[in-house]
Amino acid sequence: MMNDIQFSDCAKACMSCSLTCASCANACLKEENLEMMRECIQRCLDCADICQLCARMQQNESPFMKEICELCAKACEYCADECSQHEHQHCQQCADACRECAVECQKMLV
């Protein structure tokens, strides 16, 4: 009999956001005007890494969880600010995922 591993809403939002950011960066690389997407790609890659770390730290119940959640919320807002400026569907979806993740991370700080 296996124990069910439970993930917090925040950890789920972080993993979803991480994957969405990675997908967005990948899609940005295929856009015509790559130069215009440079900042977006960088922010997405940073955000993806931080979100993944945040999810793992929550599962580990790390003593640094609050600080990482705070950092993650900032990274998500930073990424959303950039992605929301682009019309591409992948950028809009990424901005939404980032905002959702930022909200969940903020809840962990209370």
Residues 105 and 100: their CA atoms lie apart, in Å, by 9
Mean pLDDT of 86-92: 96
Torsion angle of alpha carbons 91, 97, 98, 101, nearest 10°?
-170
Dist CA 83 CA 24 (whole Å):
9
What's the pLDDT score for residue 47? 98
**pLDDT on residue 107:** 95
pLDDT of residue 2: 57
Q: What does the block give as tokens for 66? A: 């609050």
pLDDT surpassing 90 at residue 106 = yes
What is the structure's pLDDT at 1? 54
The predicted model scores a pTM of: 0.92
**Cα angle: 91, vertex 92, 97; to 5 degrees:** 95
At 30-88, the pLDDT tens digits run 999 899 999 999 999 999 999 999 999 999 999 999 999 999 999 999 999 999 999 99
Token digits of residue 107? 């809840």
CB 16 within 8 A of CB 97: yes
Rounded to 10°, the helix 9-29/89-107 angle is: 160
Assigned token pair, 80 = 């959303």
9-107 has which fold? Substrate Binding Domain Of Dnak; Chain:A; Domain 2 (1.20.1270)
